[in-house]
Amino acid sequence: MPTNPCSKSNTSEDSSFQFVVSDSGSELKRQLKLPSYYAKVFTSSDVSLLVLCLTSEGDIVGACSLSGMFHMAVLYIDEGYRRKGLGSRLFLETIRLARERGMSFLTGAVPPGHIPALRMDFKVGFKVIRHFKDFVLIMRPLNLRGRFTYFFFRSTFSLFPEFLLARLYDTGVDIIKKIASK
């Protein structure tokens, strides 16, 4: 049986799955077969929160990380466990923890044609800031300050040229291009 990768206490659970905060993505990288760019994101030193989804046997079947100053969310569910509502549940648990830790918003960047991810993001409350050529920039406000930030970003981001925002959003755009090119 795999060892539990989490040094912190469990955050929530039901009969089949539990959601736990992890200190490092190294066990995740060994257990879950991840495309290399997801492995890179989940194990990056930039990650401020990493939440894992575990089966009752302790197998890791999903992960969601928040990184950088924009709290960029990246989520991955093992192929065999998709379309069971796990992605949304893991995201909602990450949102709950982020709010608990004082974050005001999360952001995400999704290729425009990535319907599963976009639908899931909208289902858990993300809103569009701006559509770019390679990605849709989205935000999930978590409190009043987050809602102000969202309206500020939405109104001002349309004034900036795309290349400048892409630089600001470096890692995100890098991942998005890789997802989009799959």
Ligand X SMILES: CC(C)(COP(=O)(O)OP(=O)(O)OC[C@H]1O[C@@H](n2cnc3c(N)ncnc32)[C@H](O)[C@@H]1OP(=O)(O)O)[C@@H](O)C(=O)NCCC(=O)NCCS
* Token pair for 139: 């935000």
CA gyration radius for the chain? 16
Member of 75, 97, 137, 166 binding ligand X (CB under 6 A)? 75
- Applying CB under 6 A, among 101, 123, 131, 145 the residue interacting with ligand X is 123
3-state secondary structure of 50: strand
Binding piece for ligand X, criterion CB under 6 A, among 10-18, 115-123, 131-139, 143-151: 115-123
Among 20, 28, 61, 117, binds ligand X (CB under 6 A): 117
Which 3 state secondary structure label does DSSP give 94? helix
Q: Which residue has tokens 């987050």?
A: 146
* Residue from the set 34, 86, 139, 173 that interacts with ligand X by CB under 6 A: 86
Which residue in the set 26, 46, 56, 82 belongs to the binding site for ligand X (CB under 6 A)? 82
CA-based nearest residue to 51, from 27, 86, 26, 23: 23
Task: Give the integer Cα–Cα distance in Å for 139 and 159.
Answer: 18
With CB under 6 A as the rule, give the number of residues binding ligand X.
Answer: 20
Task: Please choose, out of 9-17, 21-29, 80-88, 94-102, the segment that lies near ligand X by the rule CB under 6 A.
Answer: 80-88
Q: Which of 84, 101, 131, 145 binds ligand X (CB under 6 A)?
A: 84
Q: In DSSP terms, which residues pair with 106 in a beta bridge? A: 140
Of 128, 104, 113, 131, nearest in space to 182 by CA? 113
Residue whose C-beta lies closest to ligand X: 87
C-alpha–C-alpha distance, residues 108 and 176, integer Å: 10
Q: Which of residues 124-143 bind ligand X (CB under 6 A)?
A: none
Binding site for ligand X (CB under 6 A): 74-77, 82-88, 110, 114-117, 119-120, 123, 179
